[in-house]
Amino acid sequence: MCGRYVSSSTPDEIARYFDADEQPERPLEPSWNVAPTDDVYVVLERDQVRVVAEHHWGLVPFWAKSPAIGTKMINARADGLATKGAFKDSFARKRCIVPADGFYEWDQIPGQKVKQPYLITRRSGEPLAFAGLWASWRPPGDQGDERLRSTTIITTEANDLMRRVHDRMPVILPASAWDEWLDPGNDDVESLGRLLVPAPADLLTMRPVSTEVNNVRNQGPHLIDPVEAPPVQGSLLDAGGTEG
């Protein structure tokens, strides 16, 4: 799954990296502890133009009675997108990329209630391109122009690196797949589904970071500083320690 991540790049940096022509007028504050229900950046295609936009994290389908449903829709399993009512419309017509500078996953510390967070980033230091879906919602009966635009991050089975701490991970799209994924005119869900696979393990690196990350109220670049790894329940130590 993906329940917390880092978004410290500016809209201009995101636009340059993803070759987008438009970006928000008022940027979001950088966050080293992005949490569900936060406003986040997405990259999508609108009128044949690639843009950086701001969406609510937690998908709210167009048919929802209340935006509260979004708290249960922060992630979407890749294997159910074409059939699940909450996601199938967006999978066919409203796909996006959720840019991230890294994401967190946790492992249990033996004998303690607290869990040890790990930061996963690209080895090259470049941004990650999470496969995402988006939706547009307005309250039932409201005919106004104001809409809530929201997003969810697609997950798949874990690769060898991620399997040390969790059995799932976000889908990370290579640059070669961006055009196909973002094209709203492409409704070939079978072909699109073939893109939703685990990223190569050697693309990523993992390191333990401060347990301050465990509290969503904590912020700051110090959250991604490496710390000494404690003994863990999983197989990190058996596999020779953390990467990087």
DSSP 151-213: EEEEEEE--TTGGGT-SEEE-B--GGGHHHHH-TT---HHHHHTT-SPPPGGGEEEEEB-GGG
- Tell me the C-alpha distance between 62 and 67, whole Å: 10
Annotated catalytic residue: which of 2, 45, 96, 243? 2
Annotated catalytic residue: which of 13, 105, 180, 212? 105
Q: Is 42 helix (H, G, I), strand (E, B) or coil?
A: strand
Active site residue 105: yes
Active site residue 2: yes
- Tell me the C-alpha distance between 224 and 209, whole Å: 6
Tokens read off for 63? 């048919």
**Catalytic residue set:** 2, 105
